[in-house]
Amino acid sequence: MMSEIINLMSKTIFRFSSFSLLLGIALVCIPSAVYGQGYRSFNYEFNQIVENTKWRIGPFRIFPQILLRNVGYDNNVYRQPDYLNPIGDYTFTIGLPITAHLLVRDWMILSFTTTPEYVFFVQQERERSFNYNYRPAIKMLVLKRLTLSGSYLYQKGRVRATSEFNDRVGETRNETQAQIFYETERRTSFGFTGTLRDLKYEDAEQPGLQVSYSRNLNRTERIGQLELYYQVFTDSFFFVNWGYADYDFEYPETQWRNSYSYAIYSGLQFPLLGRIRGVLSLGYKILEPYKSKRQSFSGLVGNVRLEYRLKRFNFRLLYDRNTEFSYWTNNVFYLEDSYGAGISFYMNQFIRLDYDFAYRDSFYPEPETVRLPDESYQEINRKDKYTSHSIGIIFRVFRNVGIGLRTTYWERDSNFIYYNRNQLFVGGSVTYEF
């Protein structure tokens, strides 16, 4: 495993050096970010664990939670079109996420995270599932400036992995990650992250056909990233991330999907506390099939997740543009543009009102021949439009813990009329972010 990561590191540096030089100059002044929180320095992570410890059992620092969400009624469990008489059911999800840390003096952090959860449906027994994951990790500070990290993730559950999925489908994920970073006194860091990820899917039965998710989507991903984080404000960072990835599909009949990609992001990572939270990003990506003559992609990609608190109001802004692998026979990928906005109003210290809106465009580059309702045939590129509206009310129980009631309406409108869908969910959940 380590030899694969070392090989991936050398391949990333070699293949990406000229690409990063050209695009790095173009994007270095554009605010952007990669997905997630990004890298955190050893001392910052160490201090956060010490300050936020909720429970201690011997030398272990424990962070337990109780997860209760999606308690309510789903009027379209399988996201079927109206003419197939969608099935509704009552459901809930309950879980017990736990994170444990063991601090070895001031030079090592040992961590273990697990999130077991049970998804229950009253009538649809096939949808009941036990989802779980676990992630052991280690982070070491060597020679006061060099940080070595490693982790392993195993995750199994029934999910809608992308917007294409109508059913919840079993997904198994094995992921190994290694990092090496050099940290300066001002918490500026630069280094390399290597990730090996194996994804496997179950197949799904839909009315009139069987969808072979496994044949079309099972794959191994090898990802290498060169990363730089520079502290510009307290707990806020400017960063540049250069990445290379290759995607190797499992079955011989779908290896025409085998691809590689380059991407560069630059961005701002905002503090986890304070009026502004989140990440702002813009980048450029190239996705190219290795051998087939299928469509490739090159263009701007981005990711925005921002929250701004102003007195009694909390504003949210979302944007995402990226490619997703498709299980459609003719398409290696599809391109998604997602926009979202939300607002919360705190009536008082115990009651909060929420509203969220989201809009998404999905475009498929390869044309498909389809049969129209009048029995004629036409070759078109599939385009989907998604909209969702969500309104809710949250009641604060104590500290940042609240109990909420929410109604969400979701709709897909496609130029392939057979893929039009809508769904209404009415229910509640427990939140830890009041």
Tens-digit pLDDT profile for residues 242-251: 999 999 999 9
Cα angle for residues 64, 55, 50 (degrees, 5° grid) = 105
Q: Residue 394 in contact with residue 355, Cβ under 8 Å?
A: no
Q: Could you write out the DSSP letters of every residue in 79-93? A: ---GGG----EEEEE
User: Region 363-384: what's the mean pLDDT?
Assistant: 85
Residue 1 is given by DSSP the state -
Distance CA 301, CA 299 (A): 7
**Cα angle: 122, vertex 117, 62; to 5 degrees:** 150
Q: How far is CA 361 from CA 123, 265, 332, in A?
A: 33, 22, 17
Which tokens is 251 given? 């079955």
Q: What is this structure's pTM?
A: 0.87
Of 214, 231, 342, 333, nearest to 285 by C-alpha is: 333
Per-residue pLDDT band at 33 (split at 50, 70, 90): very low
pLDDT at 178: 97
User: Rounded to an integer, what distance in angstroms lies between the CA atom of residue 87 and that of residue 68?
Assistant: 23
**In 155-224, where does DSSP find H-type helix?**
213-217
Contact 353, 347 (CB under 8 A): yes
Task: Round to whole Å and give the CA distance between 324 and 59.
Answer: 43
Averaged pLDDT, 298-322 = 95
Residues 6+ apart with CB under 8 A from 170: 129, 156, 157, 158, 201, 202
| DSSP code string of 19-57 | HHHHHHHHHTTS----SSS----HHHHHHHHHHH--EEE
pLDDT at residue 1 tops 70: no
Judge whether 116 and 135 are in contact, CB under 8 Å: no
* Token pair for 85: 């008489």
Let me know: does 218 contact 249? Beta carbons within 8 Å.
Answer: yes
Q: Residue 106 pLDDT more than 50?
A: yes
In this predicted structure, the answer to whether residue 363 has a pLDDT above a threshold of 90 is yes
Name the residue among 327, 290, 133 with its Cα closest to residue 214: 327
User: Within a 10 A sphere around the Cβ of 344, how many other Cβ atoms?
Assistant: 19
Residue type at position 194: G
Please tell me the predicted confidence (pLDDT) of residue 323. Answer: 96
Nearest to 168 by CA among 209, 124, 123, 216: 124
List the alpha helices (DSSP H) in 130-245.
Answer: 213-217
Indicate the pLDDT class of residue 30, thresholds 50, 70 and 90: very low
Question: Which residues does residue 362 pair with via DSSP β-bridges, in sequence order?
Answer: 336, 384
Measured CA distances, 153 to 35, 169, 329 (Å):
17, 19, 30
Tens-place pLDDT, residues 323-337: 999 988 789 999 999
Question: Are 324 and 164 in contact, with CB atoms under 8 Å apart?
Answer: yes
Q: Report pLDDT for 38.
A: 74
Q: In the chain, what are the domains?
A: 2-431 (2.40.160)
pLDDT above 50 for 32: no
Render pLDDT for 412-426 as a digit per residue (tens, 0 to 9).
999 988 889 999 999
